[in-house]
Amino acid sequence: MAVRIDGLQKDISKDDSASRLPPEEELLCAFEEVLNKMDLPPDKMRILRSYDLNKKWELVCDQARRRMYAVADPSVYLEKLAVYLDRRASKKRKKLLGDETSTKILKHIEISLRTNSIDWVRMFLNDQNNGLGMLIDYLTQLQEDGNWGSACNDLNQDGPSSSGAFPYSHTSQTHTSAVLNPGDNDHFSDEKITGGLFRRTISVTKKNSRNYGDRDDDIHVCVSCLRAIMNNKYGFNMVFNNPQAIYCIARSILHQSLRIKALALELLAAICLVNGGHDLIINAFNRFRSEYKETYRFQLLFSYFIKPPEFNVDFMASCMQFFNIVVHSTESMNYRSYLQYELTLLGLDDYLEVLRNTECEQLQTHVNAYLDNKIDVHFLLDETDKKVELEAENNRLIDELSKIKERLQVVEADYIARLAQLDRRLKELNAEKENF
């Protein structure tokens, strides 16, 4: 007999420990209902289906408990977020906020997107609420306030790095110091990378009321909201079809937190792997290059990669994974070579020679993957030259073989003629012998 989650709520409330499992058939039916509501990608659904019965029952119970409590409608949070979007909002509208800061409201949204059912997420994203649009508008407003990231305009004064260096002593998988050689990559100096990127200007501070949270914290939570939205197929498709959302994620690499940089790169990599996503990512970084006056595409991202404020394996691995996917996920070999050479100009090849000896297994995996997939143009040219030589030698041998065959045919014809002549002579001799 099938059982619905609604029918389990009463039993769960009586026995909060949820230690008593229902019959297996009922449990599996309830579990499948939970999976359908979660709208997860097939790979994640396979992982959940591989759980044992106890874990499946825990998931069912957790979902049922959530449904027993009242869940705030998405419009409740979005109405408050709209106040922050409109800085000329009336005092009456601002009273809606109470003591809640923008960061707190965004955290409520992020938790709801991550923990509520797919029905709630769909309601948040529908045309009426336009939750994604409001999040992107607010994130755009945050990123454009006070010329956020304007200091990187100085990057276009120098050319790309001809070599990268990252001499570090790996004592921990999570943290260690990283220092560039003082003579290398002067155009990626600390002042040019970080000066003024992440500070609220005085004018912006004056604009903000006491309800505004820290801008970097708000950007952090907004990106986390996008991750929660992209965690199901419906939400992922909406972000995928929103170029401004993708650009906001790309622009989040300017955030001072290496964790947020890593998260942004992971989301961009996920988009890049979907059919048509590669062009979307390239377009976003073309726009980034234009807006932040980069001399070379990916220049600012690469500067963070070779000289982070501290060694963070997750950020380094996310960077390397992103470079690998951007270069090698396109089918065109010519395009791959072009993208690969862009990174070569920035100094990636030399830098990877240093990183490939790192003790961080996670980072080394991505470094080796890039090097294994790398197109060695010089090797291909050498192979092409060898191929031309071999083809010429092959043609010469074919011609020689053809001439030998012709001579063989002449010899064979002469042999047949001589054999016929000898046969006739033998018959003549036999006839003479009989007559004799």
Q: How is residue 299 written in tokens?
A: 């220049």
Residues in the chain: 436
In angstroms, rounded to a whole number, what is the distance separating the alpha carbons of residues 85 and 244? 16
Residue 155 pLDDT: 46
**Measured distance between the N- and C-terminal CA atoms of the chain, rounded to whole angstroms:** 114
pLDDT at 108 over 80: yes
Burial 332-342 (b: 16+ CB within 10 A, else e): eeeebbebbeb
In angstroms, rounded to a whole number, what is the distance separating the alpha carbons of residues 332 and 330? 6
* Packed helices 277-291 and 313-328: angle between N→C axes, nearest 10 degrees: 110
Cα dihedral sign for 65, 69, 72, 73?
Answer: positive
Helix, strand or coil for residue 311? strand
CATH classification code of 242-375 = 1.25.10.10
Helix, strand or coil for residue 176? strand
Higher pLDDT, 435 or 331: 331
pLDDT digit string, tens, across residues 355-381: 877 888 888 889 888 988 888 777 777
Helix, strand or coil for residue 254? helix
pLDDT at 254 over 70: yes
With beta carbons less than 8 A apart as the criterion, state whether 131 and 103 touch. Answer: no
* Mean pLDDT, residues 252-270: 94
Residue 89 pLDDT: 61
Could you give the percent of the chain with pLDDT greater than 70?
75
Residue 353 pLDDT: 87
Q: How is residue 320 written in tokens?
A: 């390397």
Domain borders along the chain are 24-68, 242-375, 382-435
pLDDT digit string, tens, across residues 50-103: 888 888 888 877 776 665 455 788 998 998 888 888 766 655 555 667 778 889
| Range of 7-21, 281-295, 417-431 with top mean pLDDT | 281-295
pLDDT at 14 over 70: no
Residue 163 pLDDT: 37
In angstroms, rounded to a whole number, what is the distance separating the alpha carbons of residues 418 and 424? 10
pLDDT digit string, tens, across residues 151-176: 444 444 444 443 333 333 333 333 33
Nearest to 301 by CA among 338, 336, 335, 269: 269
pLDDT at 181 over 50: no
**How sure is the predictor about 147, in pLDDT bands with cuts at 50, 70 and 90?**
low
Q: Name beta bridge partners: 311.
A: 176
